[in-house]
Amino acid sequence: MNRKISLCNLSGFFIFFLCCILACSNDDNILPENNSDDPDEEVEEEEELGSIAVLSDCLFGDTNLFDTPVHNAIEETSLVDNGMENWQKVEVLSDEFDYIGGKQSPEFQNKWRLGYVNNFQPLPTIWTGDQVSFEDDTANPGNRILILQAIIDETGNEKRLRCGMISSKETSTYPLYQEAKVKISNSQLANAVWMISKETQIEEIDNVEAYGPRIRIDGQECDRPYFADRIHLSHHTFRQTETERFDYQPQKHTWMSRKKDNNDCSRDNDVVWSEQFHIFGVKWESPTKLVYFIDGKKVKTVNGLREEDAIDPRGYTTCGDGLTREMHMLISQASQPWRYGSVDAFWNSNDIKSGPNTKMMVDWIRVYTPNGQLNKQTCN
């Protein structure tokens, strides 16, 4: 997730929602030129390295931001067309959430922990199972939907925002494909489907992070419109010392918009992700390659190890080079006050923080590996 780096006074492991570095411009990676004097010599095409987005004709003066081609169909990603023809679903990491008994169902409890993978809380957010529930899908009788919702808690000395979260009990490493069908909430809270490494929480892959609509239900623009109606696609590597936690994430092509139709690059033509369900996926292909999909279309690839805007240019990973550790699957909401400048500014904003409009809806999450089994890593 995009965050500013907090380096001091951390009592536990740093996690998913903390701080952002915005608007850092990075030069494009340039592939080596062909210097051969023989015009008939075949030149082997090199695979691009770094953060590579699938771009529309809409260009922006912000290297963090990109726009992907118009695609109005909401489809699952074709495994056959993306190098996963014989991959199988990992049942212990996947869920259709069709539980009549909701979160009390034994099958749900066997797969999921209510809350984060440990007891850390990113204040003022409190991750809790109290804000996790299930609803019938009125548009699809017999289908059930996982609901995460937020509520303001003022019972203690400090105001808190209680947010729903679930995290998988099992973990897996690459190669792995995670895909989820999600309806982003109608609030400006962070909605996310992601992965975090087992025990140490020092490697992270973010399938999707989104912040709801730019126009609030009162008809006014939200307080931090840069983030709204855009999808954040990123990953993190961390280095932890006794007093500091260093956080790397790519800066190029991390915020994605998509237009409703062609020939209009204005914000008024942006897809509003909270209006309907969309399908978000990330293929953890190798320690040095991630491929992102939205509604069945590839939108971004992060490839390479030490290159700028690649997987781990600062050399923070220690269980081999790149993203290798087993990871939990997570679905969550959070306040993320860094987008407002401070916790007080977040509470003082007019953006939606609690109630029915904070409902994040998840129809299903599906995880695939080549044999349908968990991939294990001895170094965690």
Q: What is the pLDDT of residue 317?
A: 96
Positions of the chain with pLDDT under 70: 1-46, 380
Stated as kind and residue range, the H or E segment containing 108 is: helix 106-111
Q: What is the pLDDT of residue 1?
A: 53
Q: What is the pLDDT of residue 39?
A: 44
Which of 33, 47, 203, 204 is labelled catalytic? 204
Cβ-contact 50, 307 below 8 angstroms: yes
Q: What is the pLDDT of residue 138?
A: 87
Give catalytic status of residue 275 as yes or no.
no
Tokens coding 281 = 């996926």
What is residue 209's three-state secondary structure?
strand
Q: How many helices, marked H, and strands, marked E, lie in the chain?
A: 2, 20
pTM above 0.85, yes or no: yes
Residue at token pair 């494009």: 28
Which of 209, 221, 242, 244 is labelled catalytic? 209
Q: What is the pLDDT of residue 195?
A: 98
Q: What is the pLDDT of residue 111?
A: 98
Q: What is the pLDDT of residue 21?
A: 37
Q: What is the pLDDT of residue 366?
A: 98
CA distance linking residue 298 with residue 11, whole number of Å: 39
Cβ-contact 172, 325 below 8 angstroms: no
